[in-house]
Structure 1
Amino acid sequence: MSSFESSSSSSMNIPPQTKSDYENAEEEKQEALDVDHLEKMGYKQELHRGFSSFMSFAFCFTSTSVVVSIALSFDYTLKTGGSGVAVWSWMIGSLFTILVAYSLAEICSVYPHAGSVYHWSGQLAPADSAPLISYFCGWLSFVGNVTGDASYCSGFVSILNAVIMLHDKPSLSTTDQVLISIIVLFTWSAVNTLRINQQGWINNLSAIFQLSATLIIVIVLFIMTPKHATVHDVFFSTYNGTGLPFVYVCCISILSTLFSLSGYAGSANLAEETKDAGRTAPKEIVLTCICSAIAGFVYLLAVLFTIPNIAQFVKDNEENENENGDTLDDTVATFKLALSYHGTLILTILLLISFYFAGVASITSTTRL
């Protein structure tokens, strides 16, 4: 056999490089660059990088979960300004939140590591005051995230209570609600013991579910509502159920919007666990903020168009107490205006599942601070 034939034969025995091999090599190369970038900042890579770009977006979108956040603060929204103030507050609040998101994304592109704001403040502040500023930022972020976890848990139990009340059964006692909240928190914590890429797939499912649930709720409410509010009512009518000066009410009403969009920077907390974090995490911060602002605005319009008269709606719901003195959750009561018992129950269950997914993502973000 000639040397040419021998070399040809041996080359034919070498398996061709597959696309997956190439992708794996590229991922390893990118991870090495990410690790090297952290080392240049004096930070050692400790966490597993298992989040892809879509997983990062899914986590952020689930953590923000505007449908859940709007449901949590819907009673506050209706009573602090009513429909018109809520709509304009959402548009103004979303605009400035997106601008803040761009600023945070710029910082995240330079410092893509766990801790986000806590760590960034230490890097950017003057050396003599950096420890103190970082300390306060860290604790404020942590307390804010823990409060968000508690609010999601409380909201989950409130919606579960609404499901029970829809069956014309006595609502849960305070003790039962606390016990259920503790159990739910434990399950969220258990999910967060999974490897980060496994959590990523859960967040992917969650994001798809929440987008689908939002779309279903919006379409159903717009189609099935027997009597819609007018465009003028939604965009310009006001209601002040606080007894405070209206100018002040207009100012505090924007808090509902800011709360609803507060989870958009979640991918920054998981930057150290994200592939190509210097580009992926900042991009998902901005993308999540924009998508959440749009989705939240559409959902908010859907529920507000379902209520022809907010003052009457608030009054009727407050007067319709059960034997325990509890009233139906305002969001569920809105569903009830448009739908029959079964339709209301289905939308409420969709909202309940969304609450659960949002809580899982919120706990994930908190654990990275």
Structure 2
Amino acid sequence: MDPRPDSKSDPTALSKPQAGVTSTSKAAEAAQRPRRQDIMATIQDDDDRLLVRIGYTPVLSRHFSRWSTVSYAISILGVLGSVPATIGAPLASGGPATAVWAWFIGSFMAYCIASSVAELVSAYPTAGGMYYVTKHVVPPEHVAAWAWIIGWCNFLGQAAGVASLAYTISQMVLATAVMHSSLADGEPTFTPTALQTVLLAILVLCVFGCVCSFPTNWLHKIVLWFAPINITASVCICIALLVLTPNKQSAKWVFTEVMDGSGWGSRGFSFLLGFLSVAWTMTDYDGTTHMSEETHDAAIRGPVAIRLAILVSGVVGWMLTVTFCFCMSDYDAIMASPTGMPVAQIFFNAGGRTGGTAMWFFVILVQVFTGCSAMLANARMAWAFSRDGALPFSGFWARVNPLTNTPVNAVWLVVLFCSCLDLIGIGSTLTIVAIFNITAPALDLSYIAVIVAHRWYEGRVKFIPGPYTMGRWSKPVNAVAVTWVVFISVVLFFPTVRPVRPENMNYAVCVAGFIGLFSMVWWYAGARKTYTGPRTNDIIEELPPEDPDDILSDYDV
């Protein structure tokens, strides 16, 4: 018979000491008290009980399993769609070696950031993600202000990402039309307008919204296929390109050729600009956490999926980058492609119109997967933010649809907001690009702000770790993550081309400044009087201590 208290009948059983333990020896105490693995196994059997202890009433259904969670984490990065869409920046600024090695280094740094995020969200797996963690890493008197800033950075950063994905898919579809309309001399007979691009992007957003409005059990079955298709298609496309492309570039050119395409007069600085692709792709680390209230064993499976997604995406993304560089038979001609996307030209050069379109179809398909996953995360963040009263008309956006048992209102809030962002593209390409460029720094800076707060207030605020912890490696990895984000954010805000003119200026820093100013003005104008931070019942209890080496010993991570 299990001597432990019945945790199902007694909600405080896990934190109560067992009666009759009188031995003073450490070994005897360890043998008599429940092991950490046993305690976490009990919590895994009742995820909703853990959510109640965190302070929220469970209202969503949990259908996401281990594999659908991993598939979701991989699909939100979507390297097969994201790498072709962003690789033009490092190729133009620094050449092939810049694209290859910037991705390699950036993936390692992304793993450090993701591990730091995973450690924090493991302790508090809620739909709010890192926004909610803020409540438990800063002093109570500062929670509201911190949560307000982190929440808005996270929501707006994700929204900009969703809008940019829809806009990119629109550009990809129209690029296909351009390639199929080309005459014998290569000149296209069709050139898409800004209005056509934006209207198609809004249609794509509506498709995202329809998918994200499905019940959670439907989403679980759909998302299961995202990662397998992504990985399988990536491998097949790499093989096809290497077989079909004539006159491939040499290994020396691919791995050592660094150019100064930025005009700044420095190959070193041009190399730094090459981190733009990996920074835009490897972000939204806490996206998986926003699905925590619909995931079984979220405190464990969420962090595991986050780290595994970075590893898989890092390898697959590097494989794709290297392959694309080998297949750039004519660098200048490919970079000057009428499609505006070098990889699309590589596909059509290798497979012709039929083969190139087939490969390009899977790129667009995976990008759609990424868009659906990103909108799911953004919608769940909007829902979590609304239930805490942080958005206008929060009561409406925080409603859960009784038919689907999902926050459908929050989904269409995101569709509406992202459509408004994309509409800006009709009047100003510079503005829309600046808004898209804010995605990575807004999200990454919101993550490291919570990490810094956790370390800064470590002695003043009691943080209860979750089942995933890095132990003694936590502080060094946190330091690397913070340093890297500060560094890469400066690069992301820097103009990518010199001489700097109004038409090539990087206005992302202006958008970031506007977001910061807007949120602070709104805060002091009245939000500070009504918003108090995450609205929870503060009843969370600390689990009995255990040796760090035992915490994850029974889990496949």
State the percentage of identical aligned residues. 24
Partner of 1:242: 262
**Correspondent of 1:340 among 352, 359, 363:** 352
**Correspondent of 1:265 among 278, 286, 290:** 286
Is 1:355 matched with 2:355?
no
What letter is aligned with 1:141?
A: N
Is 1:251 matched with 2:263?
no
Partner of 2:341: 329
C-alpha contact 1:165 1:328 (8 A) present in aligned 2? no
For 2:235 and 2:278, the matched residues in 1 are separated by 20
For 1:245 and 1:148, the matched residues in 2 are separated by 32
Tell me how far 1:29 sits from its aligned partner. 7.0
For 2:264 and 2:156, the matched residues in 1 are separated by 28
Tell me how far 1:132 sits from its aligned partner. 1.4
Deviations 1:75-116 (A, max 9, x none): 212112111111111111111111121121111221111111
Partner of 1:82: 95
For 2:334 and 2:198, the matched residues in 1 are separated by 29
Tell me how far 1:30 sits from its aligned partner. 5.5
Tell me how far 1:282 sits from its aligned partner. 0.8
Tell me how far 1:137 sits from its aligned partner. 1.2
For 1:108 and 1:297, the matched residues in 2 are separated by 28
Could you tell me which runs of 5 or more consecutive residues in structure 2 were left unpaired when the two chains were aligned: 1-40, 182-188, 382-557
Note the 1:179-328 alignment, pairs <5 A: 179-246=199-266, 247-311=268-332, 313-314=334-335, 316-317=336-337, 321=338, 327-328=339-340
What letter is aligned with 1:232?
A: K
For 1:229 and 1:117, the matched residues in 2 are separated by 44
SS for the counterpart of 2:263 is coil
SS for the counterpart of 1:280 is helix
Between 337-346 and 222-231, the greater mean CA deviation after superposition: 337-346
For 2:201 and 2:269, the matched residues in 1 are separated by 34
Between 146-155 and 162-171, the greater mean CA deviation after superposition: 162-171
C-alpha contact 2:244 2:351 (8 A) present in aligned 1? yes
* TM-score, with length taken from structure 1: 0.85
For 1:178 and 1:271, the matched residues in 2 are separated by 33
**Correspondent of 1:177 among 193, 197, 214:** 197
C-alpha contact 1:264 1:288 (8 A) present in aligned 2? no
User: RMSD across aligned C-alpha pairs, in angstroms?
Assistant: 1.8
Larger RCO: 1 or 2 (CA < 8 Å, sep 6+): 1
Count of equivalent residues: 333
For 1:148 and 1:283, the matched residues in 2 are separated by 23
Q: Which runs of 4+ in 1 moved over 6 A?
A: none
For 2:373 and 2:191, the matched residues in 1 are separated by 28
For 1:253 and 1:328, the matched residues in 2 are separated by 18
C-alpha contact 2:91 2:274 (8 A) present in aligned 1? no
What letter is aligned with 1:112?
A: P
Note the 1:68-79 alignment, pairs <5 A: 68-79=81-92
Between 291-300 and 230-239, the greater mean CA deviation after superposition: 230-239
* TM-score, with length taken from structure 2: 0.57
Distance 1:140 1:261, change over 3 A: same
What letter is aligned with 1:271?
A: S
Between 208-217 and 283-292, the greater mean CA deviation after superposition: 208-217
Is 1:96 matched with 2:109?
yes
**Correspondent of 2:159 among 132, 142, 146:** 146
Higher helix share: 1
Tell me how far 1:32 sits from its aligned partner. 5.7
Partner of 2:527: none
